[in-house]
């Protein structure tokens, strides 16, 4: 799938899939929110605004209040790519989010996921 198509996916479409993935593994929507808040700097209200206006992933990250300063600690492979080596910065942010939700679904502790 080409980047432009990924970037135009509404966050509101991806978000319920993240929640579903986490809940299948016994995690909660609140935990998914915590991970997203940590990564992007959104809070409950500003995240809901992004969902309500159906922002695409490009806009979602462009308007993110503050990317966490510890994102460089997110490493590993997602969809066959090493997240720390991705050239496209927007795609890298999207993959960071995927990776955090994956770690949540795999049962990692919040402390580890949030790179404490």
Give residue 13's domain range: 3-111
Q: Is residue 48 part of a domain?
A: yes
Assigned domain for 11 exists: yes
Whether 31 contacts 114, CB under 8 Å: no
pLDDT surpassing 70 at residue 115: yes
Give me the CATH number covering residue 66.
1.10.8.290
Provide the domain count of the chain.
1
Is 55 among the domain residues? yes
- pLDDT-derived band at 81 (thresholds 50, 70, 90) equals confident
Q: What is the mean pLDDT of residues 99-116?
A: 96
Per-residue 3-state assignment (H helix, E strand, C coil) for 82-107: EHHHCCCHHHHHHHHHHHHHHHHHCC
Residue 116 lies in a domain: no
pTM for this predicted structure: 0.93
Q: Does residue 4 register a pLDDT over 90?
A: no
């Amino acid at each position: 799938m080409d980047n432009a198509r990924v970037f135009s996916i509404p966050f509101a479409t991806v978000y319920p899939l993240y929640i579903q993935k986490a809940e299948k593994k016994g995690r909660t929507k609140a935990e998914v929110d915590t991970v997203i808040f940590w990564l992007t700097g959104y809070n409950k209200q500003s995240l809901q605004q992004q969902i309500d206006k159906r922002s695409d992933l490009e806009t979602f990250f462009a308007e993110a209040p503050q990317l966490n300063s510890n994102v460089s600690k997110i490493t590993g492979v997602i969809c066959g790519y090493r997240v720390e080596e991705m050239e496209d910065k927007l795609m890298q942010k999207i993959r960071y989010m995927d990776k955090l939700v994956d770690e949540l679904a795999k049962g990692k502790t919040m402390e580890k996921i949030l790179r404490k």
